[in-house]
Amino acid sequence: MIPGTASNEGDGVDGPVATQLRKGVLEYCVLALLRDEPRYGVELLHELGRFPALATSQGTIYPLLSRLRRAGLADTFLRDSDSGPSRRYYTLTTAGHRALEDFTALWPAFRQTVDHVLTPGEHP
């Protein structure tokens, strides 16, 4: 157990380990969701919510979207809504596509390395 953390036993999708893992990959999961079509914040929340390990809140998604925009990975535009005020949609920039491609290329080897280290007897 890491000092200063709760027991990892029964961590589930809401414990400290899951929170740290989610923080590490959420940005790239959002970029992946923006890859094929523009989306607005609540739509992203609903889509992420389909996967318990990725479910997050408005207090996380909107600051993340702002960071992506400031970093030049996403851009925004307003679109009229049939059910209320205009919505701010997010779309990937060229740099956002490149960042997602880089992550996608690195992820399998990273995941395999972590799996290797975590498997008892698999490393010297």
Report whether 38 contacts 89 (CB < 8 A): yes
Q: For residue 110, tell me if it sits in a domain.
A: yes
- Residue 124 pLDDT level (bands cut at 50, 70, 90): low
Average per-residue pLDDT for the chain: 89
Of the candidates 29, 31, 74, 62, which has an alpha carbon nearest to the alpha carbon of residue 48? Answer: 29
- Regarding pTM above 0.85, the answer is no
Domain around 77: 16-118
Model pLDDT, residue 48: 96
pLDDT in tens, 48-96: 999 999 999 999 999 999 999 999 999 999 999 888 899 999 999 999 9
Q: Does residue 70 sit within a domain?
A: yes
78: CATH: 1.10.10.10
